[in-house]
């Protein structure tokens, strides 16, 4: 009568896993922004760009809930001693915004942490050869790096990166190293052009009207990007944020409104399960009420 768990997982194609692991490094890369590498054997083979993980900050129940973070990249480190296999890691890039990220910023090499992942639906690659424009606002650039590294093998890739000041512009040289052409704008003009990243997008779309766009950043930016793409009939994938408790579709805390949403027949989609990456047309942009404060954002 009863089912075998291993079979069940195979049947469902489930990849996610809870890692009881340690931190390899945790460094401040720009004021208030940190990069953390976490040992995670086997994680890289499963992870796709745009997916995320739920990070348990301490074994103590403080903070209580796990914190969601995009996967910045996965990679290998040389082993500590010869003959050992290289160390597989997942890297996150985060901004200190509140209690949980503050505690994270004080963690060190060797500290014990837990992570659940890879979670959610990632980006889809789109048409080969077509120009890809990635739009990142502040910490919203995180999921775009792995995406870029996948896309560059088959299409020209441009990154439009916006932030409040130069301190909010991260990892640009790494994108360039992938062969991605990058354009930077800041609100205060302290790096790149002064102004909004959306202006740069409009200009790009004049040159590449059939480009495909991928965006992640604060909700006002995403709305503006969506309007621009919508008017021009340009394909857009967005990565959203929502407050999450479980990350696996069980608590229903993280919903966003789908395109078919009406007051009478509401359509709520779990950001953690149906997203965090959505095709723009599957969402209700008029009324998406992802809490603005909670966007990774330039601010």
Partner 1 sequence: MTTSKMANLKRPNLSVEVAGIKMRNPVMPASGTFGYGEEYTPFLDLNQLGAVVTKGLSLRPKAGNAMPRITETVSGMLNAIGLQNVGIDAFIRDKVPFLSRFETPVIVNFFGNSLEEYGEVAARLNDISAIAGVELNISCPNVKQGGIVFGTDPAAASEVVSLVRSRLQKPLIVKLTPNVTDITVIARAVEEAGADAICCINTLTGMSIDVRSRKPSLANKTGGLSGPAIRPVAVRMVYQVAQTVKIPVIGVGGIVNAMDALEFLIVGATAVQVGTANFIDPTAMISVIDGIEQFCIDEGMDDIHQLIGSLQL
Ligand X SMILES: Cc1cc2nc3c(=O)[nH]c(=O)nc-3n(C[C@H](O)[C@H](O)[C@H](O)COP(=O)(O)OP(=O)(O)OC[C@H]3O[C@@H](n4cnc5c(N)ncnc54)[C@H](O)[C@@H]3O)c2cc1C
Ligand Y SMILES: Cc1cc2nc3c(=O)[nH]c(=O)nc-3n(C[C@H](O)[C@H](O)[C@H](O)COP(=O)(O)O)c2cc1C
Output the CA–CA distances (angstroms, integers) from residue 209 to 81, 192, 206, 265, in the order listed.
52, 24, 6, 36
Which residues, other chains included, contact 81 with Cβ-Cβ below 8 Å and sequence gap of 6+?
none
- Residue 230 dihedral angles phi and psi, to the nearest 5°: -60, -50
- In the region spanning residues 26 to 65, those forming contacts with ligand X, defined by CB under 6 A, are 52, 63, 65
- In the region spanning residues 132 to 161, those forming contacts with ligand X, defined by CB under 6 A, are 139, 142
Token pair in block for residue 181: 């052409």
- In the region spanning residues 51 to 80, those forming contacts with a second copy, defined by CB under 8 A, are 60-62
What is the Cα 225 distance to its own chain's centre? Answer: 17
Looking at the Cβ atoms of 103 and 191, the one nearer to a second copy is 103
Picked from partner 1, ligand Y, a second copy, none, the partner binding residue 60 (CB below 5 to 8 A depending on kind) is a second copy
What is the Cα 229 distance to its own chain's centre? Answer: 20
- Among residues 207, 214, 148, which one has the least CA distance to residue 176? 148
Looking at the Cβ atoms of 56 and 204, the one nearer to ligand FES is 56
Looking at the Cβ atoms of 61 and 128, the one nearer to a second copy is 61
* Interface pick for ligand X out of 242, 246, 288, 298 (rule CB under 6 A): 242
Token pair in block for residue 86: 């290289």
Is 245 a binding residue for ligand FES by CB under 6 A? The answer is: yes
**Peptide bond connecting 50 to the previous residue in cis, omega within 30 degrees of 0:** no
- Residue 68 dihedral angles phi and psi, to the nearest 5°: -80, 135
* Interface pick for partner 1 out of 125, 190, 282, 294 (rule CB under 8 A): 294
Looking at the Cβ atoms of 3 and 61, the one nearer to a second copy is 61
- Among residues 121, 136, 124, 71, which one has the least CA distance to residue 270? 121
Q: Which residues are at the interface with partner 1 (CB under 8 A)?
A: 1-3, 5, 8-9, 12, 14-18, 56, 61-66, 114, 116, 242-256, 265-268, 289-291, 293-294
Chain contacts with ligand X (rule: CB under 6 A): 52, 63, 65, 67-70, 92-95, 97-101, 139, 142, 241-244, 276, 294-296
Applying CB under 6 A, the residues found at the interface with ligand FES are: 244-247, 249-254, 270-272
């Amino acid at each position: 009568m009863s089912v075998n768990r291993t079979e069940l997982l195979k049947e469902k194609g489930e990849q996610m896993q809870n890692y009881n692991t340690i931190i390899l490094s945790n460094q401040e890369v720009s004021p208030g922004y940190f990069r953390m590498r976490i040992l995670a054997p086997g994680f890289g083979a499963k992870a796709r760009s745009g997916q995320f993980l739920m990070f348990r900050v301490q074994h103590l129940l403080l903070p209580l809930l796990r914190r969601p973070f995009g996967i910045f990249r996965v990679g290998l480190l040389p082993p500590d001693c010869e003959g050992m296999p290289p160390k597989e890691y997942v890297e996150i890039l985060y901004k200190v915004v509140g209690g949980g990220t503050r505690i994270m910023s004080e963690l060190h090499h060797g500290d014990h942490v837990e992570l659940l992942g890879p979670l959610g639906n990632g980006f889809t690659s789109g048409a080969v050869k077509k120009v890809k424009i990635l739009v990142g606002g502040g910490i919203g650039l995180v999921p775009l790096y792995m995406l870029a590294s996948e896309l560059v093998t088959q299409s020209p890739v441009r990154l439009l990166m916006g932030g409040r000041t130069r301190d909010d512009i991260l990892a640009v040289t790494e994108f360039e190293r992938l062969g991605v052409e990058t354009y930077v704008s800041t609100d205060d003009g302290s790096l790149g052009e002064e102004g909004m990243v959306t202006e740069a997008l409009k200009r790009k779309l004049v040159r590449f009207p059939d480009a495909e766009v991928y965006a992640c950043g604060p909700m006002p930016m995403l709305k503006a990007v969506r309007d621009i793409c919508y008017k021009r009939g340009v394909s857009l994938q967005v990565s959203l944020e929502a407050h999450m408790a479980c990350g696996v579709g069980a608590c229903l805390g993280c919903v966003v409104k789908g395109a078919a949403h009406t007051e009478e027949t509401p359509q709520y989609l779990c950001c953690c399960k149906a997203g965090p990456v959505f095709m723009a047309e599957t969402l209700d942009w008029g009324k998406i009420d992802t809490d603005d404060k909670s966007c990774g954002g330039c601010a």
